[in-house]
Amino acid sequence: MTIERAGVVGSGLMGSGIAEVLARAGIDVVVRDISDDAIAAGRARIEKSLGRGVERGKLSAEERDAAVARLHYTVDLADFADRQLVIEAASENEEIKKSIFAELDTVVTDPQAILASNTSSMPIIRFARSTGRPERVLGIHFFNPAPVQPLVELVVSELTDPQVVETIDTFATDVLGKVTIRAQDRPGFVVNALLIPFLFSAIRMVESGQATKEDVDTGMVNGCAHPMGPIALADRVGLDTCLFVGQSIYEETGDPAAKPPVLLSRMVDAGLLGTKSGRGFYDYSS
Ligand code: 3HC
Protein backbone atom coordinates (compact mmCIF):
# COMPACT_ATOMS: atom_id res chain seq x y z
CA MET A 1 0.00 0.00 0.00
CA THR A 2 1.47 3.36 -1.04
CA ILE A 3 0.19 6.25 1.04
CA GLU A 4 -0.18 9.42 -1.03
CA ARG A 5 -3.22 11.08 0.56
CA ALA A 6 -3.50 11.73 4.28
CA GLY A 7 -5.78 13.64 6.61
CA VAL A 8 -5.03 15.23 9.96
CA VAL A 9 -7.83 15.97 12.43
CA GLY A 10 -6.94 18.99 14.54
CA SER A 11 -4.53 21.80 13.74
CA GLY A 12 -3.24 22.56 17.23
CA LEU A 13 0.36 22.21 18.33
CA MET A 14 0.65 18.54 17.34
CA GLY A 15 -1.82 18.42 14.44
CA SER A 16 -0.11 21.28 12.64
CA GLY A 17 3.33 19.73 13.21
CA ILE A 18 2.16 16.35 11.89
CA ALA A 19 0.53 17.96 8.85
CA GLU A 20 3.79 19.80 8.14
CA VAL A 21 5.83 16.58 8.39
CA LEU A 22 3.48 14.82 5.95
CA ALA A 23 3.42 17.70 3.45
CA ARG A 24 7.20 18.04 3.55
CA ALA A 25 7.46 14.33 2.72
CA GLY A 26 5.40 14.81 -0.46
CA ILE A 27 2.03 13.69 0.86
CA ASP A 28 -1.20 15.46 -0.10
CA VAL A 29 -2.72 16.52 3.23
CA VAL A 30 -6.20 17.66 4.26
CA VAL A 31 -6.23 19.32 7.69
CA ARG A 32 -9.53 19.60 9.49
CA ASP A 33 -10.38 21.80 12.43
CA ILE A 34 -13.68 22.93 13.91
CA SER A 35 -13.69 26.61 12.98
CA ASP A 36 -12.22 29.01 10.47
CA ASP A 37 -10.33 30.72 13.29
CA ALA A 38 -8.76 27.45 14.41
CA ILE A 39 -7.79 26.70 10.82
CA ALA A 40 -6.26 30.16 10.36
CA ALA A 41 -4.17 29.65 13.51
CA GLY A 42 -3.09 26.16 12.39
CA ARG A 43 -2.17 27.34 8.92
CA ALA A 44 -0.16 30.25 10.36
CA ARG A 45 1.69 27.86 12.71
CA ILE A 46 2.58 25.51 9.84
CA GLU A 47 3.72 28.29 7.52
CA LYS A 48 5.79 29.91 10.27
CA SER A 49 7.49 26.60 11.00
CA LEU A 50 8.13 25.95 7.30
CA GLY A 51 9.66 29.44 7.11
CA ARG A 52 11.88 28.61 10.08
CA GLY A 53 12.92 25.42 8.31
CA VAL A 54 14.04 27.50 5.31
CA GLU A 55 15.94 29.93 7.56
CA ARG A 56 17.70 26.96 9.21
CA GLY A 57 18.62 25.47 5.82
CA LYS A 58 16.43 22.36 6.37
CA LEU A 59 14.49 22.91 3.15
CA SER A 60 14.62 25.23 0.15
CA ALA A 61 12.10 27.99 -0.59
CA GLU A 62 10.82 25.82 -3.48
CA GLU A 63 10.32 22.85 -1.17
CA ARG A 64 8.47 25.09 1.28
CA ASP A 65 6.17 26.33 -1.50
CA ALA A 66 5.54 22.76 -2.65
CA ALA A 67 4.69 21.71 0.91
CA VAL A 68 2.30 24.67 1.29
CA ALA A 69 0.59 23.67 -1.98
CA ARG A 70 0.06 20.10 -0.69
CA LEU A 71 -1.84 21.35 2.38
CA HIS A 72 -5.61 21.82 2.18
CA TYR A 73 -7.83 22.96 5.04
CA THR A 74 -11.43 22.19 5.87
CA VAL A 75 -13.99 22.26 8.65
CA ASP A 76 -15.78 19.26 7.16
CA LEU A 77 -14.67 15.71 7.97
CA ALA A 78 -16.51 14.57 4.82
CA ASP A 79 -13.52 15.93 2.87
CA PHE A 80 -11.57 12.91 4.18
CA ALA A 81 -13.54 10.50 1.95
CA ASP A 82 -10.57 9.61 -0.30
CA ARG A 83 -7.85 9.58 2.39
CA GLN A 84 -5.65 6.50 2.78
CA LEU A 85 -4.33 7.51 6.20
CA VAL A 86 -5.96 9.74 8.79
CA ILE A 87 -4.17 10.86 11.94
CA GLU A 88 -6.39 12.23 14.69
CA ALA A 89 -4.71 14.93 16.77
CA ALA A 90 -7.72 16.53 18.43
CA SER A 91 -7.75 17.62 22.06
CA GLU A 92 -7.14 14.93 24.69
CA ASN A 93 -10.80 14.22 25.37
CA GLU A 94 -11.86 10.61 25.06
CA GLU A 95 -15.46 11.29 24.06
CA ILE A 96 -14.44 13.78 21.37
CA LYS A 97 -11.87 11.38 19.98
CA LYS A 98 -14.33 8.46 19.98
CA SER A 99 -16.89 10.49 18.06
CA ILE A 100 -14.23 11.55 15.53
CA PHE A 101 -13.31 7.90 14.94
CA ALA A 102 -16.97 6.92 14.59
CA GLU A 103 -17.44 9.67 12.01
CA LEU A 104 -14.22 8.79 10.16
CA ASP A 105 -15.49 5.22 9.92
CA THR A 106 -18.55 6.39 8.00
CA VAL A 107 -16.73 8.99 5.89
CA VAL A 108 -13.47 7.31 4.76
CA THR A 109 -14.48 5.10 1.85
CA ASP A 110 -11.39 2.91 1.28
CA PRO A 111 -11.70 -0.18 3.53
CA GLN A 112 -7.89 -0.46 3.43
CA ALA A 113 -7.43 3.07 4.84
CA ILE A 114 -5.59 3.31 8.14
CA LEU A 115 -7.02 5.37 10.99
CA ALA A 116 -4.61 6.53 13.68
CA SER A 117 -4.56 8.58 16.85
CA ASN A 118 -1.74 10.79 18.07
CA THR A 119 -3.04 10.55 21.64
CA SER A 120 -0.36 10.95 24.28
CA SER A 121 -1.71 8.25 26.57
CA MET A 122 -5.32 7.22 25.97
CA PRO A 123 -6.09 3.57 25.11
CA ILE A 124 -6.10 3.13 21.34
CA ILE A 125 -8.48 0.19 21.63
CA ARG A 126 -11.29 2.52 22.75
CA PHE A 127 -10.98 4.53 19.53
CA ALA A 128 -10.58 1.35 17.46
CA ARG A 129 -13.83 -0.01 18.90
CA SER A 130 -15.66 3.18 17.91
CA THR A 131 -15.18 2.04 14.32
CA GLY A 132 -16.27 -1.01 12.39
CA ARG A 133 -12.64 -1.66 11.42
CA PRO A 134 -10.67 -1.91 14.66
CA GLU A 135 -7.90 -3.93 12.99
CA ARG A 136 -7.01 -0.88 10.86
CA VAL A 137 -6.59 1.45 13.85
CA LEU A 138 -3.33 2.14 15.71
CA GLY A 139 -1.53 4.90 17.57
CA ILE A 140 0.98 7.03 15.66
CA HIS A 141 2.48 9.21 18.35
CA PHE A 142 4.68 12.13 17.29
CA PHE A 143 6.79 14.30 19.59
CA ASN A 144 6.82 18.05 19.95
CA PRO A 145 8.04 19.77 17.82
CA ALA A 146 7.01 17.12 15.29
CA PRO A 147 9.08 18.51 12.40
CA VAL A 148 12.22 18.36 14.57
CA GLN A 149 11.89 15.31 16.85
CA PRO A 150 12.80 12.15 14.94
CA LEU A 151 10.73 9.72 17.01
CA VAL A 152 7.35 8.21 16.20
CA GLU A 153 5.85 5.66 18.60
CA LEU A 154 3.63 3.06 16.98
CA VAL A 155 1.00 1.93 19.45
CA VAL A 156 -0.41 -1.50 18.74
CA SER A 157 -3.78 -2.38 20.23
CA GLU A 158 -5.00 -5.89 20.97
CA LEU A 159 -6.89 -5.80 17.65
CA THR A 160 -4.44 -3.99 15.32
CA ASP A 161 -3.54 -6.02 12.23
CA PRO A 162 0.27 -6.60 12.24
CA GLN A 163 0.32 -5.75 8.51
CA VAL A 164 -1.05 -2.28 9.33
CA VAL A 165 1.81 -1.76 11.77
CA GLU A 166 4.34 -2.88 9.13
CA THR A 167 2.83 -0.51 6.55
CA ILE A 168 3.01 2.46 8.90
CA ASP A 169 6.49 1.54 10.12
CA THR A 170 7.79 1.54 6.54
CA PHE A 171 5.92 4.76 5.76
CA ALA A 172 7.22 6.54 8.88
CA THR A 173 10.83 5.52 8.29
CA ASP A 174 11.16 5.52 4.50
CA VAL A 175 8.78 8.34 3.56
CA LEU A 176 8.72 10.59 6.64
CA GLY A 177 12.34 9.90 7.64
CA LYS A 178 11.40 9.19 11.25
CA VAL A 179 12.78 6.73 13.81
CA THR A 180 10.10 4.33 15.04
CA ILE A 181 9.58 2.29 18.15
CA ARG A 182 6.64 0.04 18.97
CA ALA A 183 4.65 0.08 22.15
CA GLN A 184 1.81 -1.95 23.55
CA ASP A 185 -1.45 -0.12 24.16
CA ARG A 186 -0.60 0.59 27.79
CA PRO A 187 -0.74 3.88 29.76
CA GLY A 188 1.88 6.35 28.51
CA PHE A 189 3.19 3.84 25.93
CA VAL A 190 7.02 4.04 26.22
CA VAL A 191 8.11 7.67 26.27
CA ASN A 192 5.37 9.34 28.30
CA ALA A 193 5.43 6.48 30.83
CA LEU A 194 9.02 7.56 31.51
CA LEU A 195 8.80 11.29 30.80
CA ILE A 196 5.72 12.28 32.80
CA PRO A 197 7.01 10.97 36.17
CA PHE A 198 10.27 12.83 35.46
CA LEU A 199 8.48 16.11 34.69
CA PHE A 200 6.27 15.68 37.77
CA SER A 201 9.33 15.04 39.98
CA ALA A 202 10.81 18.30 38.72
CA ILE A 203 7.55 20.19 39.38
CA ARG A 204 7.33 18.70 42.89
CA MET A 205 10.89 19.84 43.52
CA VAL A 206 9.90 23.41 42.64
CA GLU A 207 6.62 23.08 44.57
CA SER A 208 8.42 21.98 47.74
CA GLY A 209 11.06 24.69 47.45
CA GLN A 210 13.89 22.19 47.12
CA ALA A 211 15.19 24.18 44.14
CA THR A 212 14.10 27.02 41.90
CA LYS A 213 12.74 26.24 38.43
CA GLU A 214 15.80 27.89 36.92
CA ASP A 215 18.15 25.69 38.94
CA VAL A 216 16.20 22.54 38.14
CA ASP A 217 16.43 23.36 34.42
CA THR A 218 20.05 24.50 34.53
CA GLY A 219 20.89 21.30 36.40
CA MET A 220 19.45 18.95 33.81
CA VAL A 221 20.72 20.93 30.80
CA ASN A 222 24.26 21.25 32.10
CA GLY A 223 24.48 18.11 34.21
CA CYS A 224 22.78 15.62 31.93
CA ALA A 225 22.95 17.27 28.47
CA HIS A 226 19.18 17.51 28.10
CA PRO A 227 18.34 19.98 25.31
CA MET A 228 16.01 21.80 27.71
CA GLY A 229 15.21 21.45 31.39
CA PRO A 230 12.07 19.61 32.59
CA ILE A 231 10.22 22.74 33.74
CA ALA A 232 10.75 24.45 30.38
CA LEU A 233 9.82 21.20 28.66
CA ALA A 234 6.56 20.94 30.64
CA ASP A 235 5.76 24.48 29.47
CA ARG A 236 6.50 23.49 25.91
CA VAL A 237 4.48 20.26 25.97
CA GLY A 238 1.61 22.27 27.53
CA LEU A 239 0.76 22.08 31.21
CA ASP A 240 -2.79 20.96 30.36
CA THR A 241 -1.40 18.11 28.26
CA CYS A 242 1.01 17.11 31.06
CA LEU A 243 -1.96 17.08 33.45
CA PHE A 244 -4.17 14.97 31.15
CA VAL A 245 -1.41 12.50 30.44
CA GLY A 246 -0.53 12.17 34.12
CA GLN A 247 -4.19 11.73 35.09
CA SER A 248 -4.71 9.09 32.47
CA ILE A 249 -1.59 7.09 33.48
CA TYR A 250 -2.43 7.45 37.20
CA GLU A 251 -6.06 6.42 36.71
CA GLU A 252 -5.11 3.10 35.15
CA THR A 253 -1.90 2.25 37.00
CA GLY A 254 -2.23 4.01 40.37
CA ASP A 255 1.48 4.80 40.04
CA PRO A 256 2.09 7.68 42.51
CA ALA A 257 4.90 8.97 40.28
CA ALA A 258 2.26 9.80 37.64
CA LYS A 259 -0.06 11.57 40.09
CA PRO A 260 -0.25 15.21 38.97
CA PRO A 261 1.31 17.66 41.45
CA VAL A 262 -1.22 20.09 42.97
CA LEU A 263 0.82 23.03 41.65
CA LEU A 264 0.35 21.74 38.09
CA SER A 265 -3.43 21.40 38.55
CA ARG A 266 -3.69 24.92 39.94
CA MET A 267 -1.67 26.40 37.10
CA VAL A 268 -3.95 24.73 34.57
CA ASP A 269 -7.00 26.00 36.54
CA ALA A 270 -5.46 29.45 36.24
CA GLY A 271 -5.09 29.16 32.46
CA LEU A 272 -1.30 29.13 32.72
CA LEU A 273 -0.68 26.46 30.09
CA GLY A 274 2.92 27.17 29.06
CA THR A 275 4.24 28.52 25.77
CA LYS A 276 0.91 28.14 23.97
CA SER A 277 -0.89 30.50 26.40
CA GLY A 278 2.07 32.87 26.76
CA ARG A 279 2.74 31.94 30.38
CA GLY A 280 3.38 28.79 32.36
CA PHE A 281 6.25 28.35 34.77
CA TYR A 282 8.03 30.92 32.59
CA ASP A 283 6.69 34.03 30.87
CA TYR A 284 6.64 33.94 27.05
CA SER A 285 4.65 37.12 26.49
CA SER A 286 7.55 39.29 25.28
N1 3HC B 1 11.80 22.78 10.70
C2 3HC B 1 12.89 22.01 10.58
N3 3HC B 1 13.92 22.02 11.46
C4 3HC B 1 13.86 22.88 12.46
C5 3HC B 1 12.76 23.73 12.64
C6 3HC B 1 11.70 23.66 11.71
N7 3HC B 1 10.62 24.41 11.82
N8 3HC B 1 12.96 24.47 13.75
C9 3HC B 1 14.14 24.08 14.24
N10 3HC B 1 14.68 23.13 13.47
C11 3HC B 1 15.95 22.44 13.68
C12 3HC B 1 17.11 23.40 13.75
O13 3HC B 1 17.62 23.66 12.48
C14 3HC B 1 18.09 22.62 14.58
O15 3HC B 1 18.70 21.63 13.77
P16 3HC B 1 20.28 21.31 13.88
O17 3HC B 1 20.48 20.80 15.28
O18 3HC B 1 20.51 20.29 12.83
O19 3HC B 1 20.92 22.61 13.62
C20 3HC B 1 17.20 21.90 15.59
O21 3HC B 1 15.92 21.82 14.96
C22 3HC B 1 17.06 22.66 16.90
O23 3HC B 1 16.44 23.92 16.63
P24 3HC B 1 16.81 25.32 17.31
O25 3HC B 1 18.28 25.55 17.24
O26 3HC B 1 15.92 26.36 16.73
O27 3HC B 1 16.31 25.22 18.73
P28 3HC B 1 16.98 24.63 19.97
O29 3HC B 1 18.34 24.14 19.72
O30 3HC B 1 16.74 25.64 21.02
O31 3HC B 1 16.04 23.36 20.21
C32 3HC B 1 14.11 22.10 20.66
C33 3HC B 1 14.67 23.49 20.42
C34 3HC B 1 14.14 21.31 19.36
C35 3HC B 1 12.67 22.25 21.12
C36 3HC B 1 15.02 21.40 21.71
O37 3HC B 1 15.13 22.21 22.83
C38 3HC B 1 14.47 20.06 22.12
O39 3HC B 1 14.63 19.06 21.43
N40 3HC B 1 13.83 20.05 23.30
C41 3HC B 1 13.24 18.84 23.85
C42 3HC B 1 11.89 18.66 23.24
C43 3HC B 1 11.25 17.39 23.69
O44 3HC B 1 11.70 16.70 24.60
N45 3HC B 1 10.13 17.07 23.06
C46 3HC B 1 9.33 15.91 23.44
C47 3HC B 1 8.20 16.38 24.28
S48 3HC B 1 7.18 15.03 24.80
C49 3HC B 1 6.01 14.90 23.63
O50 3HC B 1 5.94 15.64 22.70
C51 3HC B 1 5.01 13.80 23.81
C52 3HC B 1 3.65 14.32 24.13
O53 3HC B 1 2.77 13.24 24.03
C54 3HC B 1 3.54 14.89 25.51
Would the pLDDT of 1 be above 90?
Answer: no
Pairing of strands 151-156, 137-142: antiparallel
Contact 132, 123 (CB under 8 A): no
Ligand 1 center–CA 111 separation, angstroms: 36
Would the pLDDT of 57 be above 90?
Answer: yes
Query: Where in the sequence numbering do the catalytic residues fall?
Result: 120, 141, 153, 192
Neighbours of 95 (CB within 10 A): 8
Q: Where are the domains of the chain?
A: 5-184, 192-277
Which residue has its alpha carbon closest to ligand 1 atom 34?
Answer: 148
Atom of ligand 1 nearest to the CA of 120: 53
* CATH topology identical between 5-184 and 192-277: no
DSSP structural state of residue 84: S
Is the distance from the beta carbon of residue 241 to the nearest atom of ligand 1 less than 6 Å? Answer: yes
For 184-205, the pLDDT digits (tens) are 999 999 999 999 999 999 999 9
The matching CATH number, chosen from 3.40.50.720, 1.10.1040.10, 1.10.1060.10, 1.10.3720.10, for 192-277 is: 1.10.1040.10
Contact 199, 249 (CB under 8 A): no
User: How far is it, in rounded angstroms, from Cα 120 to Cα 92?
Assistant: 8
For 157-184, the pLDDT digits (tens) are 999 999 999 999 999 999 999 999 999 9
Cis link prior to 261 (omega < 30° from 0)? no
Average pLDDT value for the chain: 97
Ligand 1 center–CA 150 separation, angstroms: 10
Pairing of strands 28-32, 179-184: unpaired
Ligand 1 center–CA 228 separation, angstroms: 10
Topology, domain 5-184: Rossmann fold (3.40.50)
Return the best residue to mutate from 91, 148, 228 for the ligand 1 pocket (most ligand atoms within 8 A of CB).
148
Which residue has its alpha carbon closest to ligand 1 atom 51?
Answer: 143
Where does the pLDDT of residue 286 fall: very low under 50, low under 70, confident under 90, or very high at 90 and above?
confident
For 94-117, the pLDDT digits (tens) are 999 999 999 999 999 999 999 999
